[in-house]
Amino acid sequence: MVFSSLEFLFLYLPVTLLLYFMVPKKHLKWRNLVLLVTSLIFYGWGEPVYVFLMMATIAVDYVCGYLVGIYREDNPKAAKQVLIASIIINLGILGFFKYYNFFIDNLKLIPGLGFLPTLDLELPIGISFYTFQALSYVIDVYRGDGSVQKNVAAFGAYVTLYPQLIAGPIVRYHDVDEMLRKRSETVMLFASGMRTFCAGLAKKILLANVAGQMWNGYLAVPVDERTVVGAWIGMLCYTAQIYFDFSGYSDMAIGLGKMLGFRFLENFNYPYIAKSITDFWRRWHISLSSWFREYVYIPLGGNRKGQFNTYRNLLIVWFLTGFWHGASWNYILWGLYYFVLLVFEKAFFGKILQKLPAALQHLYTMFFVILGWLLFVFEDLSAGMVWLGNMFGVGTLSFISQSNVYDLVHSLLFFAILVLASTPIAKKLFYRYYASSSALRWGACIGCGLILVITTAYLVDSSFNPFLYFRF
Amino acid sequence: MDGKNMILSEQDKLLLIQQKCAKKSRSCDIVTLILTLGLIVVFTLLFWILPDKNFSEQENRVLQQLPKIQSNFSGSFMERLTEGKFLDRLVNGKYTAEIADYYADQFPARDFFVGLKGISEAAQLKGGNNGVVICEDGYIITREDYPDANTVSANLAAIEEFSAVMESDGVLVYLAMAGRPVDVLESSLPALYPYESSEVLWKRFRDESNRLESTRYIELLEPLKAAHEAGEQQIYYRTDHHWTTHGAYLAYREIMSAMGMEAYEIGDFEIEVVSDSFYGTTWSNGGMKWIGADEMVYYRFGDDMEYTTSVADTGISFDSFYDRSYLEKKDKYSSFISGNNARVDITKKTGEKREKLLLIKDSFAHSAAPFLARHFDLVIIDLRYFKESCAALVREEGIDRVLILNYIGSNTSSNVHSILKFGLEQES
């Protein structure tokens, strides 16, 4: 199930909130159990079979965490063995379901290995997110950053927590350890969560989906009718779509978490105002970068073991970051692309960049981010290269078409909204005046209601499919 | 706070601000909850309380009903769960997908929400919604930027192959194609609208059609476009992609003149207004509820009740050319010769034998058929549904002439005329 659907908003959400808050506050264990069961239903709704895979993950990591906790003090060697077993099992599951066919397809290219069978596997939704979350538990317990969770329901709730189950943010165990044992759901926190949720809903439905439709429209332009401006409008729409889609979903997750008394990490911090690629990655999908930093980069030695090792570690992290996004070469290339840019900035360009005017810094950053999305969106590299050519006038019919002009004029306001929403202006105003201005608070209240009604209109409309009797 | 938790700062900053004024904002927080949760709960309840609908007239389609857990309710609960199809459907995700469709199709106040989205998009100055563009003079059209001219060429090739065989049998084939609203309504298009693709498509179509040796091409776009520009009569519906009855009349004049026959003058008809509340498919798609309805008229003539229209698909026949039951529904355009059918015949009741015309068509010909029926006995077929040999039909029915009359939009999206080639070999 996804948050931006009618059956989530008007069936799942009210029912699960009711069940959750029907349990008296003092019985937190039972509230955790309600969370676990409703989260499993949430997951099973879209993945009726893989819900059992998820339960297996919970069982394995519960046991591993428990054992690590027992051995940690007296028998560090055994603790380490259990930890390694847990890592192998978790990554094994992820590797099998996400990457098996990718590896086989590539191995098949080697003469003599053509007999290897590919499997008809569908990727379990969210597996990349919840596997990382489950792993962080055992590692945190091993390191002593978190304590063993003996209550199965609480641990299960941590792994399956429906707000961030499908698309993050990736919660690390030590961030929520406390909240699983003690948290307070208050009216203030609930209202705050509702505001965050509505903001995310608006981002996803009013901005991301609409920008995505435009991108698809441009993607559908026949190859011999493409224009330079069209190729740029298309990529800019995709750039907007991926950010508002992802950050909108994260906002909804954070909002839902707050309603239930959890506080999750911010996952995005206005990445498109970044002044360098390094800065961009501090602001984009923060929970993933922190996960890799904490559980891969630093254990490998980080930047403390000399220049060579630092670059080697960065290479590993960025290869993995790319590969994490999907089992396809273009994602790996996308990760390595950022490795090159980051090394470039680290080595010398960062210092030069700082001396340039701010406008140039933004321009440089967005230019490479947009080219990065080109690698990201086209799994078929040759199609991506054709599009890249189009952006610079290779293989295009003309620079601009009448159709582009018409689109630009009629999207001016929408594009202006996209740009504004990519900057923290609204957030800054909200922070500054929230305490002093009651008009702002009431405006936010009415805004939430309006957003719910209007996004519902967009959801209903997207299902509204007049049967076109003149089409064949 | 220790160093690790500092990362929470963005969320915490907000929460700190909110905590600081928690007392002041408490009433606002409570109202926020009542408003948002209230909306969610009210629509959830309305959804389950309001009766479900079977059919959407606006969309002309059957709506999803509550998916059944199992149709046969005998046996224990466990038996039902384990042996029934329910488990299969649940496992393969069909059941939950049906629930999603059910929610979408039966959502309360659906029309209101569709209209609200139309308003929201228009308020962002997008000039339209769902690919429907707001034009001048109250017209709305579907935006079609990249028509596939290659498919038109493939259609023309099939037509020409058919015509050549017909010609050798002494049967003449005429070809006329109705323009899309965007082609005809050029003078009403909004500023900057990309009309160029229309010109490219028609230039290529016209050039290729004029080169055909056995097919006689009849130009409809230019005369209808000129009539729209003159502005005396409405040539296309404002809310639908079809031409009005007057547009069909103008097409009929062009066809008659190309066939070397004399058309009836406008004064020979009596105009009957049959509806002032026709909302076409463009209107349904666009969700722009503020756009008003179209008027629909029939061009009647003295003895038009002396004709019989027989629908082969349903076995129904009726006097004259109109199935007026459609006027009560949304789909009023289907009142012309009873809408889309594989085969319809129109003859005179007196049994008088006249020249026989095979009309190969799509829905554009429906409103033109009554005019042609005044001159010919008509055999009308629709190649979307008629899947037999047209050449054989011509021979069996003793057809004298063939007229292909349809919508250029259909010819860009599918090679619908390829079936004309079917059965040609036996003929020649």
Stated length of chain A:
472
B123-140 pLDDT tens trace: 999 999 988 999 999 999
List the domain range (segments joined by +) for residue B8: 4-47
pLDDT band (50, 70, 90) for residue B5: very low
B149-173 pLDDT tens trace: 889 999 999 999 999 999 999 999 9
Question: Looking at residue B77, what is its pLDDT?
Answer: 56
Average pLDDT over residues A379-392: 92
Over chain B, what HEC string results? Answer: CCCHHHHHHHHHHHHHHHHHCHHHHHHHHHHHHHHHHHHHHHHHHHHHHCCCCCEECCCCEECCCCCCCCCCCCCCHHHHHHHCHHHHHHHCCHHHHHHHHHHHHCCCCHHHHHHHHHHHHHHCCCCEECCEEECHHHCEEECCCCCCHHHHHHHHHHHHHHHHHHHHCCCEEEEEEECCHHHHCHHHCCCCCCCHHHHHHHHHHHHHHHHCCCEEEECCHHHHHHHHHHCCCCCECCCCCCECHHHHHHHHHHHHHHCCCCCCCHHHCEEEEEEEEECCHHHHHHCCCCCCCEEEEEEECCCHHHEEEEECCCCCEEECCECHHHHHCCCHHHHECCCCCCEEEEEECCCCCCCEEEEEECHHHHHCHHHHHCCCEEEEEECCCCCCCHHHHHHHHCCCEEEEEEEHHHHHHCCHHHHHHCCHHHHC
**Do the beta carbons of residue B43 and residue A456 sit within 8 Å?**
yes
Query: What's the pTM value of the predicted model, to 2 decimals?
Result: 0.89
Examine residue B125 and state whether it is found in any structural domain, yes or no. Answer: no
Q: Examine the pLDDT at B90 and tell me if it is beyond 60.
A: yes
Q: Considering only the beta carbons, identify the residue of B41, B116, B192 that sits closest to A402.
A: B192
CA-based nearest residue to A263, from B373, B16, B164, B370:
B16
Q: Considering only the beta carbons, identify the residue of B47, B196, B285 that sits closest to A402.
A: B196
Q: Give A1 to chain B, closest Cα distance, Å.
A: 9
| B53 shares contact with chain A (CB less than 8 Å) | no
Examine residue B115 and state whether it is found in any structural domain, yes or no. Answer: no
Tally of CB atoms within 10 A around A150: 11
To the nearest 10 degrees (0 to 180), the angle between helices A127-143 and A50-74 is: 10
Tokens 């007999």 sit on residue: A115
Cα(A364)–Cα(A345) distance, rounded to whole angstroms? 12
Record the tokens describing residue B13, joined without a space: 């900053």
| B31 shares contact with chain A (CB less than 8 Å) | yes
- Asked if B147 and B66 sit in the same domain, the reply is no
Partners of residue B192 in chain A, C-beta under 8 Å: 402, 405-406, 409
- Asked if B85 and B9 sit in the same domain, the reply is no
Kindly list the distances between the CA atom of residue A121 and the CA atoms of A97, A178, B344, in Å, as whole numbers in the listed order: 7, 37, 50
pLDDT band (50, 70, 90) for residue B244: very high
pLDDT band (50, 70, 90) for residue A120: confident
Average pLDDT over residues B179-193: 93
Examine residue B128 and state whether it is found in any structural domain, yes or no. Answer: no
Find which of B36, B143, B236 to mutate to test the A interface (most A CBs within 10 Å of its CB): B36
Average pLDDT over residues B8-37: 82
Partners of residue A271 in chain B, C-beta under 8 Å: none
Contact B36 A463 (CB under 8 A): no
Contact A467 B60 (CB under 8 A): yes
Q: Examine the pLDDT at A392 and tell me if it is beyond 90.
A: yes
Q: Considering only the beta carbons, identify the residue of B39, B44, B93 that sits closest to A452.
A: B39
Whether A174 is a known active-site residue: answer: no
- Asked if B271 and B398 sit in the same domain, the reply is yes
Question: Looking at residue A234, what is its pLDDT?
Answer: 96
Examine residue B400 and state whether it is found in any structural domain, yes or no. Answer: yes
Q: How many structural domains compose chain B?
A: 3
Examine residue B113 and state whether it is found in any structural domain, yes or no. Answer: no
- Asked if B270 and B285 sit in the same domain, the reply is yes
Contact A469 B363 (CB under 8 A): yes
ipTM field = 0.85
- Asked if B156 and B62 sit in the same domain, the reply is no
pLDDT band (50, 70, 90) for residue B177: very high
- Asked if B201 and B103 sit in the same domain, the reply is no
Tokens 């919970």 sit on residue: A58
- Asked if B343 and B377 sit in the same domain, the reply is yes
Helix, strand or coil, per DSSP, at residue A118: coil
Partners of residue A444 in chain B, C-beta under 8 Å: 28, 32
Contact B11 A191 (CB under 8 A): no
Residue B242 amino acid letter:
H
Q: Examine the pLDDT at A106 and tell me if it is beyond 50.
A: yes
Q: Considering only the beta carbons, identify the residue of A198, A286, A457 that sits closest to B113.
A: A457
Examine residue B122 and state whether it is found in any structural domain, yes or no. Answer: no
Contact B284 A409 (CB under 8 A): no
Name the residue in chain A with its Cα closest to that of B20. A435
Active-site residue identified among A285, A325, A362, A410: A325
Question: Looking at residue B78, what is its pLDDT?
Answer: 54
Question: Looking at residue B428, what is its pLDDT?
Answer: 46
- Asked if B93 and B32 sit in the same domain, the reply is no
- Asked if B38 and B145 sit in the same domain, the reply is no
Examine residue B119 and state whether it is found in any structural domain, yes or no. Answer: no
DSSP A238-304: HHHHHHHHHHHHHHHHHHHHHHTT--PPP--S-GGG-SSHHHHHHHSSHHHHHHHIIIIITTTTTTS
Q: Examine the pLDDT at A470 and tell me if it is beyond 50.
A: no
- Asked if B57 and B18 sit in the same domain, the reply is no
A200-252 pLDDT tens trace: 999 999 999 999 999 999 998 988 889 999 999 999 999 999 999 999 999 99
| B144 shares contact with chain A (CB less than 8 Å) | no
pLDDT mean across residues, chain A: 88
Contacts with B20 (C-beta within 8 Å, 6 or more apart), sequence order: A435
Identify the weakest region by mean pLDDT among B74-78, B86-90, B211-215: B74-78
Name the residue in chain B with its Cα closest to that of A220. B146
Average pLDDT over residues B307-333: 92
Q: Give B170 to chain A, closest Cα distance, Å.
A: 32
Identify the weakest region by mean pLDDT among A63-67, A327-331, B59-63, B222-226: B59-63
Find which of A40, A194, A460, A471 to mutate to test the B interface (most B CBs within 10 Å of its CB): A460
A413-426 pLDDT tens trace: 999 999 999 999 99
- Asked if B242 and B352 sit in the same domain, the reply is yes
Average pLDDT over residues A301-329: 88
pLDDT mean across residues, chain B: 88
Please identify among residues 312-341 of chain B the ones whose CB lies closer than 8 Å to any CB of chain A: 331, 340
Record the tokens describing residue A61, joined without a space: 């990591």
Contact A464 B17 (CB under 8 A): no
B30-85 pLDDT tens trace: 999 999 999 999 999 999 998 888 887 777 778 888 887 654 445 555 555 544 56
pLDDT band (50, 70, 90) for residue A465: low
Q: Give B194 to chain A, closest Cα distance, Å.
A: 5
Please identify among residues 210-269 of chain B the ones whose CB lies closer than 8 Å to any CB of chain A: 241-242
| B204 shares contact with chain A (CB less than 8 Å) | no
- Asked if B179 and B73 sit in the same domain, the reply is no
Examine residue B344 and state whether it is found in any structural domain, yes or no. Answer: yes
Cα(A161)–Cα(A37) distance, rounded to whole angstroms? 10
Cα(A144)–Cα(B6) distance, rounded to whole angstroms? 19
Residue B341 amino acid letter:
N
Question: Looking at residue A469, what is its pLDDT?
Answer: 36
